[in-house]
Amino acid sequence: MNIKEIQQLIKILEKSNVEELEIKEDNFKIRISKSGGSQGVVSQPFQNVMLPPAAPVAAEAPAPPPVAETKEAEPEVDTSHLLDILSPMVGTFYTAPAPDADVYVKIGDVVKKGQVLCIVEAMKLMNEIESDHDGKIVEINVDNAQPVEYNQILFRLEPL
Protein backbone atom coordinates (compact mmCIF):
# COMPACT_ATOMS: atom_id res chain seq x y z
CA MET A 1 0.00 0.00 0.00
CA ASN A 2 1.45 3.36 -0.95
CA ILE A 3 1.01 6.81 0.58
CA LYS A 4 -1.56 7.92 -2.03
CA GLU A 5 -3.79 4.95 -1.21
CA ILE A 6 -3.49 5.76 2.50
CA GLN A 7 -4.36 9.41 1.84
CA GLN A 8 -7.40 8.32 -0.18
CA LEU A 9 -8.54 6.09 2.69
CA ILE A 10 -8.21 9.04 5.08
CA LYS A 11 -10.32 11.24 2.79
CA ILE A 12 -13.01 8.55 2.50
CA LEU A 13 -13.03 8.13 6.28
CA GLU A 14 -13.34 11.90 6.82
CA LYS A 15 -16.42 12.08 4.61
CA SER A 16 -18.14 9.07 6.16
CA ASN A 17 -19.76 8.30 9.49
CA VAL A 18 -17.35 5.39 9.97
CA GLU A 19 -15.16 5.96 13.05
CA GLU A 20 -12.40 3.42 12.36
CA LEU A 21 -11.07 1.43 9.41
CA GLU A 22 -8.58 -1.44 9.67
CA ILE A 23 -7.00 -3.25 6.71
CA LYS A 24 -4.75 -6.31 6.86
CA GLU A 25 -2.80 -7.52 3.81
CA ASP A 26 -0.18 -10.29 4.02
CA ASN A 27 2.39 -8.82 6.43
CA PHE A 28 0.99 -5.26 6.43
CA LYS A 29 -1.65 -3.79 8.72
CA ILE A 30 -3.10 -0.27 8.83
CA ARG A 31 -5.72 1.19 11.12
CA ILE A 32 -7.18 4.64 10.56
CA SER A 33 -9.53 6.07 13.13
CA LYS A 34 -11.14 9.34 13.97
CA SER A 35 -12.47 10.52 17.30
CA GLY A 36 -13.57 13.97 18.28
CA GLY A 37 -12.47 15.43 14.95
CA SER A 38 -8.88 14.17 15.17
CA GLN A 39 -7.43 11.36 13.09
CA GLY A 40 -4.85 8.75 13.84
CA VAL A 41 -3.02 6.51 11.40
CA VAL A 42 -1.07 3.46 12.50
CA SER A 43 0.92 1.60 9.84
CA GLN A 44 3.15 -1.29 10.80
CA PRO A 45 4.26 -4.77 9.82
CA PHE A 46 1.61 -7.24 10.88
CA GLN A 47 2.13 -8.19 14.48
CA ASN A 48 0.18 -8.02 17.71
CA VAL A 49 1.07 -4.74 19.34
CA MET A 50 -0.83 -3.06 22.14
CA LEU A 51 -0.86 0.71 21.87
CA PRO A 52 -1.26 2.81 25.02
CA PRO A 53 -4.66 4.50 25.29
CA ALA A 54 -4.82 7.97 23.81
CA ALA A 55 -5.13 10.94 26.14
CA PRO A 56 -8.76 12.02 26.51
CA VAL A 57 -9.77 14.88 24.27
CA ALA A 58 -12.05 17.57 25.66
CA ALA A 59 -15.33 17.38 23.81
CA GLU A 60 -16.72 20.57 22.40
CA ALA A 61 -20.40 21.29 22.71
CA PRO A 62 -22.13 20.29 19.47
CA ALA A 63 -23.47 23.09 17.32
CA PRO A 64 -27.24 23.39 17.29
CA PRO A 65 -28.87 21.88 14.21
CA PRO A 66 -29.78 24.33 11.45
CA VAL A 67 -33.35 25.54 11.48
CA ALA A 68 -35.28 23.95 8.62
CA GLU A 69 -37.41 26.16 6.44
CA THR A 70 -41.10 25.48 6.73
CA LYS A 71 -42.65 24.24 3.53
CA GLU A 72 -46.03 22.90 2.69
CA ALA A 73 -46.32 19.40 4.05
CA GLU A 74 -45.65 16.92 1.28
CA PRO A 75 -47.80 13.81 1.32
CA GLU A 76 -46.05 10.76 2.76
CA VAL A 77 -45.02 8.34 0.04
CA ASP A 78 -45.28 4.65 0.90
CA THR A 79 -41.89 3.12 0.12
CA SER A 80 -42.45 -0.16 1.98
CA HIS A 81 -42.97 -2.06 -1.28
CA LEU A 82 -39.70 -0.80 -2.80
CA LEU A 83 -36.51 -2.90 -2.86
CA ASP A 84 -33.26 -1.27 -1.73
CA ILE A 85 -29.95 -1.85 -3.53
CA LEU A 86 -27.24 -1.28 -0.91
CA SER A 87 -23.55 -0.53 -1.24
CA PRO A 88 -21.55 -3.63 -0.30
CA MET A 89 -18.52 -1.51 0.66
CA VAL A 90 -17.11 1.92 1.38
CA GLY A 91 -15.92 3.60 -1.79
CA THR A 92 -16.73 6.06 -4.56
CA PHE A 93 -19.98 5.70 -6.55
CA TYR A 94 -19.87 5.97 -10.35
CA THR A 95 -22.92 5.93 -12.64
CA ALA A 96 -20.96 4.96 -15.78
CA PRO A 97 -17.96 2.80 -16.69
CA ALA A 98 -16.01 5.86 -17.91
CA PRO A 99 -16.42 9.65 -17.67
CA ASP A 100 -17.45 9.93 -21.33
CA ALA A 101 -19.67 6.80 -21.37
CA ASP A 102 -23.45 6.59 -20.99
CA VAL A 103 -24.82 5.93 -17.50
CA TYR A 104 -25.72 2.37 -16.62
CA VAL A 105 -29.27 3.23 -15.50
CA LYS A 106 -31.50 6.23 -14.90
CA ILE A 107 -34.80 6.74 -13.09
CA GLY A 108 -37.60 4.93 -14.90
CA ASP A 109 -35.37 2.25 -16.44
CA VAL A 110 -36.50 -1.36 -16.12
CA VAL A 111 -33.66 -3.63 -15.00
CA LYS A 112 -33.22 -7.39 -14.84
CA LYS A 113 -31.62 -9.42 -12.07
CA GLY A 114 -27.84 -9.42 -12.61
CA GLN A 115 -27.80 -6.20 -14.67
CA VAL A 116 -24.99 -3.77 -13.73
CA LEU A 117 -26.37 -0.63 -12.08
CA CYS A 118 -23.20 1.25 -11.12
CA ILE A 119 -19.58 0.93 -10.02
CA VAL A 120 -18.21 1.40 -6.51
CA GLU A 121 -14.47 2.05 -6.53
CA ALA A 122 -12.60 0.90 -3.46
CA MET A 123 -8.81 1.11 -3.28
CA LYS A 124 -8.46 1.51 -7.06
CA LEU A 125 -10.62 -1.58 -7.70
CA MET A 126 -13.76 -1.04 -9.76
CA ASN A 127 -16.60 -3.18 -8.36
CA GLU A 128 -19.69 -3.55 -10.54
CA ILE A 129 -22.88 -3.48 -8.49
CA GLU A 130 -25.62 -5.63 -10.00
CA SER A 131 -29.36 -5.69 -9.41
CA ASP A 132 -30.58 -8.47 -7.12
CA HIS A 133 -34.10 -8.26 -8.56
CA ASP A 134 -36.11 -7.45 -11.66
CA GLY A 135 -37.63 -4.01 -11.26
CA LYS A 136 -38.00 -0.40 -12.26
CA ILE A 137 -35.56 2.23 -10.93
CA VAL A 138 -37.57 4.76 -8.92
CA GLU A 139 -34.76 6.41 -6.91
CA ILE A 140 -31.04 6.99 -7.34
CA ASN A 141 -29.82 8.18 -3.95
CA VAL A 142 -26.18 9.05 -4.73
CA ASP A 143 -24.65 11.52 -7.16
CA ASN A 144 -21.85 10.46 -9.52
CA ALA A 145 -18.34 10.44 -8.02
CA GLN A 146 -19.63 10.78 -4.45
CA PRO A 147 -18.36 8.69 -1.54
CA VAL A 148 -20.63 5.94 -0.24
CA GLU A 149 -20.67 3.98 2.97
CA TYR A 150 -21.21 0.31 3.65
CA ASN A 151 -24.94 -0.58 3.45
CA GLN A 152 -25.88 2.89 2.16
CA ILE A 153 -28.95 2.79 -0.10
CA LEU A 154 -27.81 3.41 -3.68
CA PHE A 155 -31.02 2.65 -5.60
CA ARG A 156 -34.66 1.85 -4.91
CA LEU A 157 -36.51 -0.51 -7.24
CA GLU A 158 -40.19 -1.08 -7.74
CA PRO A 159 -40.48 -4.85 -8.13
CA LEU A 160 -41.97 -6.20 -11.35
Identify the three-state secondary structure at position 10: helix
Q: How many CB atoms lie within 10 A of CB 14?
A: 13
- pLDDT of 39 above 50: no
DSSP string of 11-26?
HHHHHSS--EEEEEET
Structural domain boundaries in the chain: 3-45, 83-159
CB burial string 51-68: b at 16+ within 10 A, e below? eeeeeeeeeeeeeeeeee
Q: Tell me the percentage of the chain whose pLDDT exceeds 90.
A: 47
User: Given a cut of 80, is residue 115 above it in pLDDT?
Assistant: yes
Mean pLDDT of the chain: 79
Cβ of 105: how many Cβ atoms within 10 Å? 20
φ, ψ for residue 16 (rounded to 5)? -110, 170
Lowest mean pLDDT among 32-36, 84-88, 151-155: 32-36
The mean pLDDT of 132-152, rounded to a whole number, is 94
Angle (nearest 5°) at CA 4 between 18 and 51: 55
pTM check: above 0.75: no
Compute the distance between CA of residue 91 and CA of residue 150 in angstroms, rounded to an integer: 8
Which stretch of 73-77, 103-107, 154-158 has the lowest confidence by average pLDDT? 73-77
Contact 152, 142 (CB under 8 A): yes
Residue 38, pLDDT score = 45
Overall fold of domain 83-159: OB fold (Dihydrolipoamide Acetyltransferase, E2P) (2.40.50)
